[in-house]
Amino acid sequence: MAYRILTITLLLVLIMLAASCKKETETLDEARMMYHYFPVETGRERVYQSDSIIYLAGGTRRDTFTSFIKERVGDYYIDNEGS
């Protein structure tokens, strides 16, 4: 009896595995790829202000630092692998 249950269970598992393997091809929509989120046009330049707040001594003392981050998109290059 146990051999029969094991055989049926194994057969069902194999059928489920075979049925779950199907080839799917999905076409990606470039409009939904969020390329406009971080534009990388050559020559584009942006300056960001960054604020950092650090709490010391259990939160009783606070230090604040402000800095600027400059981001510039330059030319691209091709490495030794050709990419």
pLDDT per residue over 25-44, tens digit each? 888 887 777 766 776 778 88
Answer whether residue 27 is part of any domain.
Answer: no
Answer whether residue 64 is part of any domain.
Answer: yes
Answer whether residue 3 is part of any domain.
Answer: no
Instruction: Identify the burial level of 68 via C-beta atoms within 10 angstroms of its C-beta, where 0-12 means exposed, 13-18 middle and 19 or more buried.
Output: exposed
Answer whether residue 67 is part of any domain.
Answer: yes
Domain count, the chain: 1
pLDDT of 43 reads: 84
H helix runs in 1-83, sequence order: 2-20
Length of the chain counted residue by residue: 83
Nearest Cα neighbor of 68 from 36, 46, 53 is 46
pLDDT of 61 reads: 83
Answer whether residue 56 is part of any domain.
Answer: yes
Which domain does 50 fall in, by range? 44-78
Q: Which two tokens stand for residue 75?
A: 């030319």
Answer whether residue 24 is part of any domain.
Answer: no
- Give yes or no for residue 54 having a pLDDT over 80: yes
pLDDT of 83 reads: 63
pLDDT of 66 reads: 95
Measure Cα distances from 81 to 68, 75, 78 in Å.
Answer: 35, 18, 8
pLDDT of 48 reads: 94
Distance of alpha carbon 37 from alpha carbon 46, whole angstroms: 14
Q: What is the pTM of this model?
A: 0.41
Answer whether residue 9 is part of any domain.
Answer: no
Answer whether residue 71 is part of any domain.
Answer: yes
